[in-house]
A and B are shown apart, each in its own frame.
Chain A
Amino acid sequence: MVLVFLGIVASVIRLVIGRTLLDRIVAMDVLTIIAIVLIALYAHIADRFVYLDVAAVYGLLSFLSVLAVARFIDRGL
């Protein structure tokens, strides 16, 4: 758990520093995947099955948002 949190801290630092736009987008992507893992771990701790649905929706969200931003910076929507 501690390692996952350290990973979050590192990617947040990259999110803040990042020089080009691409850095920040990929930092966002990493953050959402880490959020999925955190939700799954919390579902394990609290021992409730329903929280896994939230993790699945988050997976969908990260994929679609990165795709949309990638299309957007190319030539407009």
Chain B
Amino acid sequence: MMQRVLSVIVIGLLAVVFTRIVGAYVQLDALRPLAASYVTLSPESLTTPNVITGILITYRGLDTLGEVAVLFMVAASLGLLLKPLEGQPKPPKAFQRSDPGEIVHSGKQVMFPMILTFGAYVIVNGHLSAGGGFQGGAIVAAGVMLLLIATPETRLNTTLLSIVESTAGILFVLLGILGIVLAGGFLDPRFLPAGELGGFISAGAIPLISALLGIKVGAELSVVIDKFRT
């Protein structure tokens, strides 16, 4: 009884705080100066019409490096925590995974290449329309999850995936250092020629960096999903 009264009081106080924050929200008429400079500079100096990818990879490149490190740490710690111990018995026979049937199997055979192609499309189109490295990598990992659901006996080659992921991370950092050497700062993509706005080969090294990010995230999330199986 006392707990309920207490929780109602806490929720009431939180509601008061939130209404004050929401009430003080003023609709901005124009962008703030920093955002305006990003929006105008990105198509001219970086030749990418997708401002978000430009900000993620160039103007805030160190944050992307931090995200890559965080994802790698997550995958490593999950691998450590979910490793099966030697003394544990295997689950009993009646609890084994059931076969989902033939329709799902055929459906997987149709949809899996399509999902992979769609993921590759989203990765590669990072600088033109909505997309980018992280998003495309998540779609690729979703395709792998479909594979794991439809045929539960697949064994993913986790060592190969880990090697691919680490190589992609190393290449990403190397590209960043090339940015320092050849152009402005870390991860500056201007050291490759910038084509015209909206073309496929344009925006300097941003497609390369997006591709590396996508491969890395895709391999990582696949390994993470695989660890969660019994």
- A4 interface contact, C-beta 8 A: no
Q: Which of B65-110 contact A (CB under 8 A)?
A: 95-98, 100, 104
Q: Which of A49, A60, A74 makes the CB contact (< 8 A) with B142?
A: A60
Does A56 contact B118, Cβ atoms closer than 8 Å?
A: yes
CB-defined contacts of B129 to chain A, threshold 8 Å: 49-50, 53
- B149 interface contact, C-beta 8 A: yes
Main secondary structure on B side of the interface with A = helix
Does A75 contact B97, Cβ atoms closer than 8 Å?
A: yes
CB-defined contacts of A75 to chain B, threshold 8 Å: 95-98
Chain A residues within 8 Å of chain B by Cβ, number: 17
Does A60 contact B145, Cβ atoms closer than 8 Å?
A: no
- B20 interface contact, C-beta 8 A: no
CB-defined contacts of A64 to chain B, threshold 8 Å: 142, 145-146, 149
Does A71 contact B115, Cβ atoms closer than 8 Å?
A: no
Does A53 contact B130, Cβ atoms closer than 8 Å?
A: yes
- The residue in chain B whose Cβ has the minimal distance to the Cβ of A75 is B98
Q: What does the 1/0 interface line of B109-137 toward A look like (CB < 8 Å)? A: 00100010010001000000111000100
Does A74 contact B104, Cβ atoms closer than 8 Å?
A: no
Does A67 contact B104, Cβ atoms closer than 8 Å?
A: yes
Cβ of B212 to closest chain A Cβ, rounded Å: 21
Question: In the bound complex, how far is the Cα of B115 from the Cα of A25, in angstroms?
Answer: 23
CB-defined contacts of B118 to chain A, threshold 8 Å: 56, 60
Q: What does the 1/0 interface line of A42-74 toward B look like (CB < 8 Å)? A: 000000011001101100110110011001001
CB-defined contacts of A57 to chain B, threshold 8 Å: 122, 135, 139
Does B95 contact A76, Cβ atoms closer than 8 Å?
A: yes
Question: In the bound complex, how far is the Cα of B146 from the Cα of A63, in angstroms?
Answer: 9
- B229 interface contact, C-beta 8 A: yes
Q: Which of B140-174 contact A (CB under 8 A)?
A: 142, 145-146, 149
Question: In the bound complex, how far is the Cα of B104 from the Cα of A49, in angstroms?
Answer: 32
Does A67 contact B95, Cβ atoms closer than 8 Å?
A: no
- The residue in chain B whose Cβ has the minimal distance to the Cβ of A72 is B149
CB-defined contacts of A61 to chain B, threshold 8 Å: 142
Question: In the bound complex, how far is the Cα of B122 from the Cα of A53, in angstroms?
Answer: 9
- B25 interface contact, C-beta 8 A: no
- A77 interface contact, C-beta 8 A: yes
Cβ of A13 to closest chain B Cβ, rounded Å: 26
- B3 interface contact, C-beta 8 A: no
CB-defined contacts of B230 to chain A, threshold 8 Å: 76-77
Does B115 contact A60, Cβ atoms closer than 8 Å?
A: yes
Does B98 contact A74, Cβ atoms closer than 8 Å?
A: yes
Does B130 contact A54, Cβ atoms closer than 8 Å?
A: yes
- Chain B residues engaging chain A, CB cutoff 8 angstroms: 95-98, 100, 104, 111, 115, 118, 122, 129-131, 135, 139, 142, 145-146, 149, 228-230
Shortest 8 CB-CB contacts between residues of A and residues of B: A50-B129, A50-B130, A53-B130, A67-B149, A71-B149, A75-B98, A64-B142, A74-B98
